[in-house]
């Protein structure tokens, strides 16, 4: 039923996911771009055009003569859904390869699937990842092929107001802070936001007796998620007046570590009305694993604006 609906629907604009990653099968590890492997994508908007209507076109711009093996793999099931081999390939030759569309296993509950196109030449494999995304609008199903984007070494903070909005001289960066009431026993959780663009996980603040512990979790970390933490930093401020610097590289190390208990009485001088500042660095991809895409962070959604306003009111009481 789903396939029939898909074939009747119009696809949204199709964009090749150019995740250029050279996966070395031999000694060479240079990327396709460095080696001069040019890839172009073309395809119709109408899914009913058929399996072989979407095309990857390759042109080798380096010295080469021999065989190119091509395969397309469903990364969720690790099954090969298409193979092809061309012999007598030479540099400068334009070759078209079918990029089969495959909606098997896609539902509105599980709408995303990663498919990997691989080219093997000169004992080196070049891979190109494509994400099929099943969507529904006005009762019509459509399938898009979307680009996955890497965000290297970006900052990540817990949800809250931005320092630049309340103390503009501190920073021009979108560093967020979280006003927290540490008199509340138990767990409080907050969105963990990277690049001020995507919600990549959760930040947890656990209070038990005199001790507070701060931890975080990257979404799908145990399901093939590719978010990688590069640097960790967090601290507490007593209030906005005490905030003089928000760049961890030039701040004194407070000695706090994620997962380590902190004494409210001894380390925070008994202050239970504090500002939490998390500023990690992460490398992540919007398609966080082979079947999920991160949720965009829209700061001006009504519920987020209201939550920030409540945080500011409580902080200023």
Whole-angstrom CA distances from 203 to 136, 149, 304 are: 32, 24, 16
Mean pLDDT of 134-144: 74
Higher pLDDT, 126 or 53: 126
| pLDDT value for 139 | 76
Instruction: Note whether 292 and 172 are same-domain residues.
Output: yes
156 and 144 within one domain: no
C-alpha closest to that of 9 among 53, 55, 56, 49? 49
Q: How confident is the model at residue 213 (pLDDT cuts 50, 70, 90)?
A: very high
Cβ-Cβ contacts under 8 Å for 259 (sequence gap 6 or more) = 213, 214, 215
* Average pLDDT of the segment spanning 255-266: 97
Say if residue 48 is in the same domain as residue 118: yes
d(Cα 269, Cα 237) in Å, to the nearest integer?
11
DSSP output for 58-88 = EEE-SS-EEEEEEEEEETTTTEEEEEEEEEE
> What contacts 97, CB < 8 A, 6 or more positions away?
55, 56, 57, 58, 70, 84, 117
Q: How many CB atoms lie within 10 A of CB 6?
A: 19
Does 297 lie in the same domain as 170? Answer: yes
Average predicted confidence (pLDDT) for the chain? 82
Residues 269 and 174 in one domain: yes
118 and 170 fall within a common domain: no
Q: What are 64-123's pLDDT values in tens digits?
A: 888 999 998 888 788 898 899 999 988 888 888 887 766 777 777 888 888 888 888 888
One domain for residues 121 and 26: yes
Q: How far is CA 253 from CA 207, 232, 265, 293, in A?
A: 22, 11, 19, 35
Which of 37-51, 149-163, 234-248, 252-266 comes out lowest in average pLDDT? Answer: 37-51
Of 122, 148, 174, the residue at which a domain comes to its end is: 148
**Rounded Cα distance, 101 and 53, in Å:** 9
Stretch among 114-123, 161-170, 304-313 having the lowest mean pLDDT: 114-123
Q: CA of 7: how far to CAs of 10, 106, 232, in Å?
A: 8, 14, 47
State pTM to two decimals: 0.73
Tell me the H-state helices in 60-168: 163-166
> In terms of domains, do 74 and 201 share one?
no
pLDDT recorded at residue 65:
86
pLDDT tens for residues 185-200?
Answer: 999 999 999 999 999 9
The whole-angstrom separation of Cα 195 and Cα 174 is 8
Which one, of 86, 88, 84, 87, lies nearest residue 98 by Cα? Answer: 84
pLDDT in tens, 17-43: 333 333 333 323 334 444 566 766 565
Q: Residue 138 belongs to a domain with what CATH number?
A: 2.60.40
Same domain, 89 and 114: yes
pLDDT at 214: 98
Quote the strand ranges of 209-311, DSSP E: 211-218, 228-231, 234-237, 262-263, 273-278, 280-285, 295-296
The domain boundary, picked from 148, 179, 205, lies at 148
Domain count, the chain: 2
CA dihedral for 261, 265, 267, 271, sign (positive or negative):
positive
Please indicate whether residue 13 or residue 110 has the higher confidence score (pLDDT).
110
Which residues does 274 contact at the CB level (< 8 Å), separation at least 6?
A: 179, 180, 182, 236, 237, 238, 268
Q: What is the pLDDT of residue 53?
A: 52
Q: Which of 121-130, 249-258, 287-296 has the lowest mean pLDDT?
A: 121-130
Q: Are residues 192 and 137 in the same domain?
A: no
Q: Which structural domain, as residue segments, surrounds residue 17?
A: 2-148
Task: Examine the domain organization and report whether 7 and 144 are in the same domain.
Answer: yes
Indicate if 31 and 141 belong to the same structural domain: yes
| Residue that terminates a domain, selected from 148, 169, 194 | 148
Instruction: Phi first, then psi: give them for residue 108, nearest 5 degrees.
Output: -70, -20
- Quick one: CA torsion of 270, 272, 274, 280, rounded to 10 degrees? 90
Q: What is the pLDDT of residue 216?
A: 98
């Amino acid at each position: 039923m789903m396939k029939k609906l898909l074939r009747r629907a119009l696809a949204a604009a199709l964009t090749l996911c150019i995740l250029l990653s050279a996966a070395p099968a031999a000694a060479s590890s240079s990327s396709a771009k460095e080696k001069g492997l040019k890839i172009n994508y073309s395809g119709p908007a109408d899914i009913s055009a058929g399996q072989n209507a979407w095309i990857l076109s390759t042109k080798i711009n380096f010295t080469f003569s021999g065989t190119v093996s091509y395969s397309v793999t469903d990364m969720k099931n690790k099954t090969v859904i298409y193979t092809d081999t061309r012999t007598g390939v030479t540099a400068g030759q334009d070759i078209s390869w079918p990029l089969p569309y495959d909606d098997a296993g896609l539902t509105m509950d599980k709408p995303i699937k990663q498919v990997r196109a691989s080219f093997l030449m000169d004992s080196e494999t070049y891979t190109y990842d494509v994400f099929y995304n099943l969507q529904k609008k006005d009762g019509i199903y459509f399938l898009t092929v979307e680009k996955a984007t890497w965000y290297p070494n970006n900052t990540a903070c817990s949800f809250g107001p931005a320092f630049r909005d309340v103390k503009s001289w501190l920073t021009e960066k979108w560093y967020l802070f979280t006003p927290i009431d540490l008199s509340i026993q138990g767990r409080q959780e907050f969105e963990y936001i990277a690049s001020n663009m995507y919600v990549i996980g959760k930040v947890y603040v656990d209070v038990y007796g005199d001790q507070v512990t701060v931890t975080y979790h990257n979404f799908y970390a145990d399901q093939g998620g590719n978010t990688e933490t590069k640097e960790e930093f967090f601290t507490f401020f007593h209030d906005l007046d005490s905030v003089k610097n928000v760049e961890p590289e030039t701040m004194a190390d407070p000695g706090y570590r994620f997962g380590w208990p902190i004494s409210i009485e001894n380390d925070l001088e008994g202050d239970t009305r504090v500002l939490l500042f998390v500023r990690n660095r992460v490398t992540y991809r919007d398609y966080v694993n082979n079947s999920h895409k991160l949720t965009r962070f829209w700061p001006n959604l009504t519920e987020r604006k209201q939550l920030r306003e409540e945080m500011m009111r409580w902080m200023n009481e």
